[in-house]
Structure 1
Amino acid sequence: MKRGGLRTADRRPTGRPRKPRSVVVIGGGISGLASAALLARDGHAVHLLEQQGVLGGRAGRWEAEGFRFDTGPSWYLMPEVIDHWFRLMGTSAAAELDLVLLDPGYRTFFEGEDRPVDVPWGRERVGELFDALDPGSGTALARYLDEAEDAYRLATERFLYDDFSSLRGLASRDVLRRLPQLGALLTQTLDQRVARRFRDLRERQLLGYPAVFLGTTPFRAPALYQLMSHLDLSQGVLYPRGGFAALVDAMERLARQAGVDVRLGARAQRIVTGEAPGGARVEGVVWTDDDGREHRLGADVVVGAADLHHLETELLPAPLRSHREEAWSRRDPGPSAVLACLGVRGPLPELAHHNLFFTRDWRDNFGRVAAGLRLPDPTSLYVSRASATDPGVAPAGDESLFVLVPAPAKPEWGRGGVGGNGAPTVEAVADAAIRQVSEWAGVPDLARRVVVRRTIGPEDFAVDVNAWRGGALGLAHTLRQSAVLRPGNASRTVSGLLYAGASVRPGIGVPMCLISAELVLKRVRGDRKPGRVGVDETVAFAPAAPRTRASRAVEVPWPT
């Protein structure tokens, strides 16, 4: 597919700043890359510091013996948000990525059920599925998805692109006339809202599981997040060929083209500050290279795109921290995870591209994760079989599996390893997950067919991406950690210090991290208005629709 279809110079974001500034971005994950690229395209001199040897942060990658794996995000949702970032960079998602629409979107395995359920793309077909699971529930689903779409539109237009530095967005007529509706969405949990409308446990799990994408559970997420069902059931699930590594590569390419100075193996040691009227201001960043040599970069603006707890507790002195340690003790880090990258010999038609495994008592399952207890056996988990759609991620005839098991945010569980050499707790969780997938999906020889194996544990998140308490995603989207109640995008004590990423507004996930980068851009410009940054449409632009590719696992002979 053609890359970079629109020349970068052809179209720029509107509202250019008056004075170029020197910017240092700490962290080369999605939010750091996105922030650096937007600011460089806006005319600033931008240096990007990434402690690892590759960009992407949580959107990592690993390859061995011809098997390739995304080790982070794998669900491509909110495509218009991702495309908007590419438009701000003068191109489009369609020009930079080879996007495939998955149909079925995903396959679900339910404890105690003989057969899995394929969730198709499109509201009408999903309604037919619900009617098949529980006659008459398709009508309730139609109403639910109407509400989800309305909530999503309200969120994208009024909340997500607002750093809440003023209350103008909250005082809009559109928001005020929805106050009764918003009150209900904020005082109910997602589980309560779903359970009142749907009797079938399978349907309740299908509508409640997206809370996990938000680092929380349906029993703690506000009902407002029913909007997530609009994304996977109405909009559909896309896949960028080459995985999310292809997205990171495209973003890096555009960042470098815009002039970003990317420095890998660069670990930020401290944010340098000086006195300013009423407080302090940033002056630069001290960092060390892989050889331990110390360097300093001067800066008018520093963007902390790493974990917020790490930035404030490790890189700033205590008097300059916006969030005191006692405040962190009251916060929810969200779950961690045990990940397993598995190279499997031979085909696995029993699995679709995305696969969800749900235990019957998932309230207990989620409760154990939140409380830091031992996981139940079986446990709810997720399996990606990207090779169902993308043959390039595995040798011909073989499969690449990525298994994610939500786990407590406990770094003491240890790190993963290659070939079963990780910490005992991590490897035991991975072994149990492989057994469960083998039994539920009807692949009795799965364990014997694994020829490549790497695990990742909670301590890996703590060490590799400085994640607070080893969280896999970021601060959980509970009511007290969403929207205006989530940590902000600017330091309250240091002028010129801005924040982006999953720890701050608007929240968790690739689209949210891209929006946080846009909020940083607006801050640097002095733009406090809610809403997206405009794009100067000087070039005709018509995004190509993603191609539809069904998983190879549409017709499956299930064992009796």
Structure 2
Amino acid sequence: MNRPQRSKAGRTLPGRPRPRRTVTVIGGGISGLATAGLLARDGHAVQLLEKNEVLGGRAGRWEADGFRFDTGPSWYLMPEVIDHWFRLMGSSAPDELRLERLDPGYRVFFEAHEDPVDIPASREGAVALFDSLDRGSGAALARYLEEAEDAYAVALERFLYDDFSSLRGLAHPDVLRRGSRLAALLAQSLHTRVSRRFTDRRERQILGYPAVFLGTTPYRAPALYQLMSHLDLTQGVLYPHGGFAALVDAMARLARSAGVQIRTGARATRILTGPAPGGPRVEGVAWTDAEGREHRTGASVVVGAADLHHLETELLPAELRTHPERAWDRRDPGPGAVLACLGVRGTLPELAHHSLFFARDWRDNFARIGAGDTPAETTSIYVSRTSATDAGVAPAGDESLFVLVPSAAAPDWGRGGIGGAGAAAVEEVADRAIQQISAWARIPDLAERVVVRRTFGPADFEHDVNAWRGGALGLAHTLRQSAFLRPGNESRTVSGLLYAGASVRPGIGVPMCLISAELVLKRVRGQRRPGPVGPPLVALRGQVAAGTAARGAALADAARAEGVAWPT
């Protein structure tokens, strides 16, 4: 009988035993930590190289004068996917994180409408809300969400956990039965599908905006992505106390406990290759440490968990690239962003934990992003007021705001800075965003109350995470960059070179990056069947409660031992 592999820590990961390999993972973001942890837990010797001094990649953090900020992901969606990674690591999301369900899930401010709209934390509440906005539309939303839930279930079972090394999964009966429906969802845009069902502009924007989470627009996202509405309107939005920095810290703890050797300040400079009977294969990675010393680490498997364009154009010679430079001319980097971290004196009850500000003219809004133009004076904005839920992110009585303005992927705009010292183009966008929030949310003295400020521009994404063209999220989820049309998880030219992260399958976002780690694990194991590793995904509905955690005290002690602040 085959037995599961054991890591050095003595834990087990479901699956058949495999030969122990030496693995080097390039990149310490979500996908790099997730991949390194899974491979170490599967019994391999794993080293992770991160060029920055802090782990997390796009899931960054910043702190000043008692204010703490996530500078990347802030919407905790697809909880069963995140929990599944933790379970593969021998734990669970509720055991490692203090999760709280937000109610309302978020608040939306609409241009030319005086009163904002709160989005309830349940499907029933959302249906009632739509009926209040446009009588009779609640029934249409109920049908729309039923379709969204079905699309999500199929995506989880048949598409997201499939690396498409074979297209046989597309011939599964579950897919064939839905063939005509799936074809229709791929043939039209999300905007078209929503517009045919709903006439109220506010409802159209609520259902269309999730496309931005996918690095695209409702005019370019396939209608299949209506499944995103199942995530926020049916499943609801969770928040991990301590922010996504707490998620990164939990992942790093588990990766280290599985035996991963994590090196920060370690910049990969070249993927080493050598000849083999079947063609070139990896031999290791050359890298420099924080003092500039050069190192060479041997490896039988290398996982590039950084930006794909950077990995292939900077770390491989031209003849070994799966995606030559000319192929990138046809690709969409998705939007860039201008970010602002604002420490504000006094409270801001006018804002929810998540608040969205929607401009009336979305076509112009999104067209400016695609054309590389600066945003209009009135644009669409996202604001995270984490201090509404988490007292640990701001001094008592004050607020921590994170502002995101979707913009062009334009590194020539420059980098942000502290206290207004960033590039002029970046600071101007941030100033206008603060003015708009102040006016729409009726906070007339908002600008005067800002005592801490740091901005980030498209050039920061290029500098900090090697993002191609300064994209804030990763390759856009357009039809030509989704599912099997998205770059794959394995090099076609170098044996032993695998890829994970937002540039490759299945795509953008924390849950997608965790799934990409499982796709790499399956590649290393030689598994090709679609679906998650190990047991099925587990819904978290009964395991999340406000202010509770299964091991809160133990986690707090562990975090303090590592010098990490833990919310009380």
Q: Does 1:523 align with 2:552?
A: no
The correspondence of residues 363-378 of structure 1 with structure 2, limited to 5 A, is 363-378=363-378
The residue type paired with residue 545 of structure 1 is: Q
What is the Cα deviation at residue 373 of structure 1?
Answer: 1.1
| Number of the residue aligned with 2:135 | 135
1:270 aligns with 2:275: no
1:356-505 mapped onto 2 (5 Å cutoff): 356-505=356-505
Shift of 1:18: 2.2
Distance 2:501 2:235 in 1: 24
Q: Distance in 2 between matches of 1:8 and 1:453?
A: 45
Q: In structure 2, how many angstroms separate the alpha carbons of the residues matched to 1:8 and 1:482?
A: 37
- What per-residue deviation string (whole Å, max 9, x for no partner) do you get for residues 257-313 of structure 1? 001000000000000000122420000000001111100100000000000000000
1:38-437 equivalent positions in 2, closer than 5 A: 38-437=38-437
Q: Structure 1 residue 226: deviation in Å?
A: 0.1
1:3 matched residue in structure 2: none
Q: Distance in 1 between matches of 2:18 and 2:134?
A: 60
User: Does structure 2 retain, via aligned residues, the 8 Å contact 1:94–1:543?
Assistant: no
After superposing the two structures, state which structure 1 stretch, 339-348 or 370-379, moved more: 370-379
- The Cα of 1:329 is off from its aligned counterpart by 0.4
Which blocks of at least 5 consecutive residues in structure 2 are unaligned?
1-6, 548-568
1:546 paired with 2:544, answer yes
Residues 110 and 360 in structure 2, CA contact (< 8 A), matched pair in contact too: yes
The equivalent residue for 2:560 is none
Q: CA deviation at 1:9?
A: 6.1
Question: In the alignment, is the contact (CA less than 8 A) between 1:37 and 1:260 conserved in 2?
Answer: yes
Aligned in 2, Cα 1:91/1:248: closer, same or farther, shift over 3 Å? same
- Say if 1:162 and 1:531, in contact at 8 Å, map to a contact too: yes
The amino acid across from 1:453 in the alignment is R
CA distance in 2, matches of 1:18, 1:353: 46
Q: Which residue of 2 aligns with 1:558?
A: none
- Go from structure 1 to structure 2 and tell me whether the alpha carbon gap of 1:116 and 1:10 turns closer, same or farther (over 3 Å shift): farther
Distance 1:231 1:189 in 2: 19
Is the CA contact 1:270–1:316 (under 8 Å) kept in the aligned structure 2? yes
The 3 A distance-change label for structure 1 pair 256 and 507 is same
Q: How far apart, in 1, do the equivalents of 2:179 and 2:453 lie?
A: 51
Instruction: Report what 1:26 is aligned to.
Output: 26
Cα contact 1:94–1:544 (8 A) shared by 2: no
Report the Cα distance in structure 1 between the residues aligned to 2:521 and 2:269, rounded to whole angstroms: 24
8 Å contact 2:188–2:223 — kept in the other structure? yes
Aligned partners of 2:123 and 2:294: how far apart in 1? 56
In 2 relative to 1, CA 8–273 (structure 1 residues): closer, same or farther, beyond 3 Å?
Answer: closer
Contact 1:13 1:535 in 2 (8 A): no
CA contact (8 A) 2:9 2:258 kept: no
Tell me which amino acid in the other structure corresponds to 1:216: T
**How far, CA to CA, are the matches of 2:278 and 2:378 in structure 1?**
56
Aligned length: 541
Q: What is the one-letter code of the residue matched to 1:461? A: F
**Maintained 8 Å contact 1:285/1:297:** yes
Tell me if structure 2 keeps the 8 A contact 1:92–1:543.
Answer: no
Separation in 2 of the partners of 1:342 and 1:368?
A: 25
Query: 1:453, CA displacement in angstroms?
Result: 0.2
Q: 1-side partners of 2:365 and 2:467: how far apart?
A: 23
In 1, Cα distance between equivalents of 2:168 and 2:8: 33
Determine if contact 1:335/1:472 at 8 Å carries over to the other structure.
yes
Shift of the 477–541 alpha-carbon distance from structure 1 to 2, 3 Å rule, reads: closer
Structure 1 distance, partners of 2:215, 2:417, is 24
User: Which amino acid counterpart does residue 200 of structure 2 have in structure 1?
Assistant: D
Alpha-carbon separation, structure 1, partners of 2:453 and 2:411: 21
Deviation track 1:135-162 (CA, whole Å, cap 9, x = no partner) reads 0000000000000000000000000000
Does the aligned pair in 1 maintain the 2:137–2:198 contact within 8 Å? yes
TM-score, with length taken from structure 2: 0.94
Q: Structure 2 vs 1, CA of residues 455 and 542 (structure 1 numbering), >3 Å: closer, same or farther?
A: closer
Contact 2:9/2:259 (CA < 8 Å) preserved in 1?
Answer: no
* Contact kept in structure 2, 1:333 and 1:468, CA below 8 Å: yes
For residue 275 of structure 2, give the secondary structure of its aligned residue in structure 1. Answer: strand
Residues 274-283 or 469-478, more deviating:
274-283
In structure 1, what is the Cα distance between the partners aligned to 2:226 and 2:201?
Answer: 17
Contact 1:87 1:535 in 2 (8 A): no
SS of the aligned residue for 1:337 comes to strand
The SS at the match of 1:276 is coil
How far apart, in 1, do the equivalents of 2:359 and 2:88 lie? 42
What letter matches 2:205 in structure 1?
Q
1:552 corresponds in structure 2 to none
CA offset digits 1:433-455 (Å, max 9, x no partner): 00000000000000000000000
Q: How has the CA–CA distance of structure 1 residues 391 and 332 changed in structure 2, closer, same or farther, with 3 Å as cutoff?
A: same
**How far apart are 1:541 and its partner, in Å?**
12
Question: What SS does structure 2 have at the residue aligned with 1:57?
Answer: coil
Residues in 2 aligned to 1:33 and 1:527: alpha-carbon distance in whole angstroms: 21
* 1:37 and 2:37 are equivalent in the alignment: yes
Q: Which moved more, 1:274-283 or 1:7-16?
A: 7-16
SS of 1:484's equivalent in the other structure is helix
Kindly tell me: are residues 260 and 294 of structure 1, through their superposed partners in 2, closer, same or farther at Cα, counting changes over 3 Å?
same
User: SS at the partner of 1:138?
Assistant: helix
Asked whether the 8 Å contact 1:355–1:383 carries over to 2, the reply is: yes
Instruction: Provide the rounded CA distance (Å) in 1 between the counterparts of 2:18 and 2:78.
Output: 32
Instruction: Give the structure 1 partner of residue 564 of structure 2.
Output: none
Letter in 1 for 2:418: V
Contact conserved, 1:13 with 1:88, CA < 8 A, in 2?
Answer: yes
Q: CA deviation at 1:177?
A: 1.3
Cα distance, 1:169 vs. partner? 1.1
- Partner Cα separation in structure 2 for residue 158 and residue 12 of structure 1: 26
| Distance of 2:205 and 2:499 partners within structure 1 | 34
Does the Cα contact within 8 Å between 2:189 and 2:219 map onto a contact in 1?
yes
* Counterpart-to-counterpart distance in 2, 1:416 and 1:433: 14
Q: Give me the whole-angstrom Cα distance separating, in 1, the residues matched to 2:479 and 2:531.
A: 22
| Aligned residues with identical type, % of pairs | 76
Give the match for residue 556 of structure 1.
Answer: none
Change in 2 beyond 3 A, CA 1:423/1:105: same
Does the 8 Å contact 2:8/2:43 carry over to 1?
no
Deviation at 1:25, TM superposition (A): 0.1
Task: Verify the 8 A CA contact 1:46 1:259 in the aligned structure 2.
Answer: yes
Q: What is residue 555 of structure 1 aligned with on the other side?
A: none
Give the drift of 1:16.
Answer: 3.6
Shift of residue 22, structure 1, vs aligned partner: 0.2
Question: What amino acid is aligned across from residue 402 of structure 2 in structure 1?
Answer: F
Contact 1:103 1:548 in 2 (8 A): no
Alpha-carbon contact 1:14-1:536 (below 8 Å) kept: no
